[in-house]
Chains A and B, each alone.
Chain A
Amino acid sequence: MLLNSILFDFLAGLAVVSAILMVTRRNVVHSAVFLIGTLVATAGIFLQLQAEFLFVVQIILYVGGIMVLFVFVIMLVNLDVTLRFPQFNRQKFVAGALAIALGGQVFAAYWIGHGALHFKGSSSPMPAKNTEAVGQALFQHYMLPFEIASILLLVAMIGAVVMAKRRV
Chain B
Amino acid sequence: MIPVDLYLFLSLALFIIGVIGVLTRRNVIVILMSIELILNAVNINLIAFSRMWSSVDGQVFAIFIITDAAAEAVVGLGIILALFRNRETVLADEMDMLKW
Contact = CB atoms under 8 A, between A and B. Distances in A.
Interface of A: 1, 4-5, 8, 12, 15-16, 19-20, 22-23, 28, 31-32, 35, 38-39, 42, 45-46, 48-51, 53-54, 57-58, 61-62, 65-66, 69-70, 73-74, 76-79, 82, 85-92, 95-96, 98-100, 102-103, 106-107, 110, 114, 119-127, 130, 133-134, 137-138, 141-142, 145, 149, 152-153, 155-157, 159-160, 162-164, 166
A155 B75 CA distance: 9
B70 A65 contact: yes
A64 B66 CA distance: 13
A90 B23 CA distance: 10
A49 B20 contact: no
A115 to B, nearest CB: 12
Given A87-B25, A119-B3, A126-B51, A153 B71 contact: yes
Interface residues of B, number: 71
A36 to B, nearest CB: 10
A42 B11 CA distance: 10
A119 B90 CA distance: 44
Given A23-B34, A45-B44, A61 B29 contact: no
Question: Do most interface residues of chain A lie in helix, strand or loop, or is the interface mixed?
Answer: helix
Contact of A66 (B19, B36, B82): B36
Given A15-B10, A35-B33, A119-B5, 4 more contacts: A19-B18, A45-B44, A87-B27, A91-B24
Question: Do most interface residues of chain B lie in helix, strand or loop, or is the interface mixed?
Answer: helix
B83 to A, nearest CB: 9
Nearest to B82: A163
Contacts of B23: 91-92, 95-96, 98-99
Interface of B: 1-8, 10, 12-21, 23-27, 29-30, 32-34, 36-37, 40, 43-44, 47-48, 50-52, 54, 56-57, 59-60, 62-64, 66-75, 77-82, 84-85, 88-93
Given A53-B59, A54-B47, A160-B75, A88 B32 contact: no
B14 A38 contact: yes
B19 A152 contact: no
B33 A119 contact: no
B20 A95 contact: yes
Nearest to A165: B82
Contacts of B67: 149, 152-153
Nearest to A150: B67
A54 B75 contact: no
